[in-house]
Structure 1
Amino acid sequence: MARCKCSGRAFCLCLLPFLMMSHLLVYIIVTIFVAMSYRPEPQPVSLPLHFIAPGVSSNSGALASHPLNAFWNLRLVEGALWNRLQHLKDRENNPILRGNITVVRGPQNESTDPFPNDGSPLCQPDHLLASQLPDFNTIPEQMKDFVLSMHCRSYTLLKNQPDLCNGQDTETDAPMLFMAIKSQVGNFENRQAIRETWGRTGLVQEESGGQRWQVRTVFLLGRQDVTTGPHPDLEALLQLESSLHKDILQWDFRDTFFNLTLKDLLFWNWLAVHCPQAHFIFKGDDDVFVRTSALLDYLNKHHASLQGTNKKVKDDFLVGDVISNAWPSRQPTAKYYIPESFYKGIYPTYAGGGGVVYSAALAMRLREVSHWVSLFPIDDVYMGMCLQRLGIRLIHHPGFLTFDLPDAKKETPCAYHKVLLVHKRSPKEMLTLWRVLKAPLAEC
């Protein structure tokens, strides 16, 4: 056997491969640790205004920008409370460190839920969180309330509709579209206008005159927020409404703007138990107008176009008014104000909360991943955070007008020809628009 005789310079050449391998090993280890550390984002020079949050609608193409990195490498900014909490969650659930754990859930048995309750049954305020926010005493009251209870995820269901999807277990009988509308106790007129117009429960025909599909509508409510001022006692009226229409879901949390995220989480849990067979979910506000028949047309054509494709492509479906490059509002008087001490960085791409449609399969995945995402006070941004961690590519549709039509076109029926959703409309405007659009239109 040949022997390698190394001396002097030749000895260094013999060691070179070993030195290169050791340097490569050190580089890999350092890279992993850096990836798990915070990386500050550049701050914007100016903040463009937007209705949901500062940003712009993504209308340059059908697909919005999507995350290129895995969910645990978020480049979060050090210092802000939410960023620090989320960094801990991401490290805790880093598949490199913890391994790939597949969770199997029993949708018919919530007692087997592997995810623990984030708060006690009564969910007491967590003043430790408040102590970690240096300007806690100076931020607006609704932000204070959110911080104190952002660990709470389980609330008592006060009004339930467990039989809403009974007898619809087959593929053809299951709801093609399940409409989950965010409402408040006092918005009786809005709910009734929706029931009489675009949110009617039952068989609804596609606009093109094609198939008729099952549509189910439910309204998501918390309890009246006494901190916003005196309210008349509407409990008896709400109970009567719930008994009559059987479409009210109400949970025992204060119904405030910053608690809208809870309606998403709690609805996903309810859906997994009581209507997992639904095909598509519409989540929207009770002051939007939806052309339901046109939406069914779009969903059926989209579903048909995916025949024979990968099941994951069908399941990872979400369409709406996609917003990207949005930054938090830093104006303390603004509705969407988020202090820099709570959150730093740009918002992920998300769909405007006025109305969005996604597959029921995606709803179940959102339900799963939401346990790894700290609650955020703006509901559509929070869903964007969950979608980012799932690596979902959002579909932008120009027919979702979450910022309304131009004033000059609001009264023109033909302007609604390609609209799927428009925001916002009063109960009277909903009824009027429904009647106008039901009449045969002249050539548009």
Structure 2
Amino acid sequence: MARCRCSGRALCLCLLPFVMMSHLLVYIMVSIFVAISYRPEPQIPLHFVASGASSNSGDLAPHPLTNFWNLHLVEGALWNRFQHLQDRQHNPILRSNHTELMGPNTDPNYMHKTDGFPSCHPDHLWASQLPDFNTMSEQMQDFVLSMHCRHYSLMIDQPDLCSDQDDEKEAPLLLMAIKSQVGQFENRQAIRETWGRSGWVTEDTGGNRWRVRTVFLLGRQDATTGPHADLAALLKLESSHHKDILQWDFRDTFFNLTLKDLLFWDWLSIHCSHAHFIFKGDDDVFVRTGALLDYLKEHIFPSQDGSNRTKGKEDFLVGDVITNAWPSIQVNTKYYIPESFYKGVYPTYAGGGGVVYSGALASRLRIVSRWVSLFPIDDVYLGMCLHRLGISPIHHQGFLTFDLPEADREKPCAYRRVLLVHKRSPKEMLRLWRTLNAPLPEC
């Protein structure tokens, strides 16, 4: 009987077909498993698909430093679903396929057409996506019905607030943008007489004097926002005297504070684009403006031509930074966000009582905000925009958005390291201003 003797090389050749067949079987099994387990994304009506953008557009959000392009869709939450489509559309890796995401019959200019300038009408198609819409608070319902609106006409403007903006040497080092309401006259007046004075302000250390401008951001208060007296005539008189009020034609509610950021960024780009730094805060905070100027001086340096330019990175934002925060589940609080609207942890953000950011960052925020769906809490929305720019806010212990310990609130020495404290009534602002401007005892 003849024997078949195979060398090592012949043995490999004999086994090769079997190895290839086994690999093919594994590939087929994996493909079948993926096909079975795949679930298409929940369909959102084409009404919600964001407008297209050319790949050559300079308005696209740049790729962030960290990976935020999350392709996992949180099911059931309206904001997450809509933002998921926007993030995919403006992802610099995936944006070449944006026409597929939009769908064949979607008008790429839809969002611009329905922005409703100068007026915007409620859209009930949003509500149809929320099974618990009828149980939501009135303010949340109003936000959902109008969350597609981004443009509102100016009722009161101040185009000359930064009249020297073409001369960078005279541009404000600090523009204070304070969110207020029509009826909060006492707060505005206390700010004008204390920490929010417009003009040349000296640092606390007694060094340089810097140009500061203050402007108040208001919406519309009337019968649709609650039982308010008609103060329109008084507001116009106040504006004509102080020339520091911006008012837009939208309902001034807590959930519409985000609109003040968006509309202010637009106004800033036209009328005060050369401001070096922006303070954005509420009208019930107290700011040690001179100490803040001392801090900001560390972020500027004199150039050879004598002008002042921001030092280091231009993407500068400082405040009381909050991380790993979740939406409030307390139904009766003003911060409550229904789970049907938003799910997940909030991005890192700075408390809305007051933050400071560079003028250059304001320009970038204005652009990237076009691709971030409106959110009812303004400081969280700012964090969402920073997240998509790949920018981390800077935490400063001097921004006390949750106030000093109660035992220290009447001690002048406790304010030595404070830049901002929240919150203070108009009387408390005036009293604190007099106290801190008097010779302080040794601490």
Corresponding residue number in structure 2 for 1:405: 404
Aligned equivalents of 1:207, 1:372: Cα separation in 2: 40
> Deviations 1:239-267 (Å, cap 9, x if unpaired)?
00100111000000000000000000000
Q: Superposed, which structure 2 residues align to 1:274-313 within 5 Å?
A: 274-304=271-301, 313=312
1:87 aligns with 2:84: yes
Corresponding residue number in structure 2 for 1:361: 360
Structure 2 CA distance for partners of 1:313 and 1:37, relative to 1, 3 Å: farther
Structure 2 CA distance for partners of 1:401 and 1:118, relative to 1, 3 Å: farther
Aligned equivalents of 2:131, 2:66: Cα separation in 1: 32
Contact 1:117 1:154 in 2 (8 A): no
Structure 2 CA distance for partners of 1:69 and 1:314, relative to 1, 3 Å: closer
Aligned equivalents of 2:371, 2:347: Cα separation in 1: 16
| C-alpha displacement of 1:390 | 0.6
> Deviations 1:82-107 (Å, cap 9, x if unpaired)?
11111111122122122499xxxxxx
| C-alpha displacement of 1:190 | 0.5
| C-alpha displacement of 1:115 | 8.5
Contact 1:83 1:344 in 2 (8 A): yes
Corresponding residue number in structure 2 for 1:145: 142
Corresponding residue number in structure 1 for 2:203: 206
Determine which of 132, 135, 157 is the counterpart of 1:135. Answer: 132
Structure 2 CA distance for partners of 1:76 and 1:412, relative to 1, 3 Å: farther
1:163 aligns with 2:160: yes
- Find the residue that maps to 2:442 and give its secondary structure: coil
> Deviations 1:159-190 (Å, cap 9, x if unpaired)?
00001111243332110000000000001110
Letter in 1 for 2:345: I
Corresponding residue number in structure 2 for 1:237: 234
Contact 1:176 1:215 in 2 (8 A): yes
Which residues of structure 1 form unaligned runs of 5+? 39-66, 102-112
Contact 1:71 1:390 in 2 (8 A): no
Structure 2 CA distance for partners of 1:319 and 1:75, relative to 1, 3 Å: farther
- Find the residue that maps to 1:142 and give its secondary structure: helix
TM-score where L is the length of structure 1: 0.81
Determine which of 12, 15, 20 is the counterpart of 1:9. Answer: 15
1:427 aligns with 2:423: no
RMSD: 3.1
1:116 aligns with 2:109: no
Structure 2 CA distance for partners of 1:275 and 1:415, relative to 1, 3 Å: same
Matched positions, count: 389
> Deviations 1:381-400 (Å, cap 9, x if unpaired)?
00011111111011100000
Letter in 2 for 1:177: L
Determine which of 157, 163, 172 is the counterpart of 1:175. Answer: 172
Letter in 1 for 2:346: Y
- Find the residue that maps to 2:270 and give its secondary structure: helix
Aligned equivalents of 1:140, 1:305: Cα separation in 2: 52
Structure 1 range deviating more: 209-218 or 69-78: 69-78
Letter in 2 for 1:119: D
Corresponding residue number in structure 2 for 1:261: 258
| C-alpha displacement of 1:363 | 0.7
TM-score where L is the length of structure 2: 0.81
- Find the residue that maps to 1:353 and give its secondary structure: coil
Letter in 2 for 1:360: G
- Find the residue that maps to 1:180 and give its secondary structure: strand
Structure of higher RCO (CA pairs closer than 8 Å, 6+ residues apart): 1
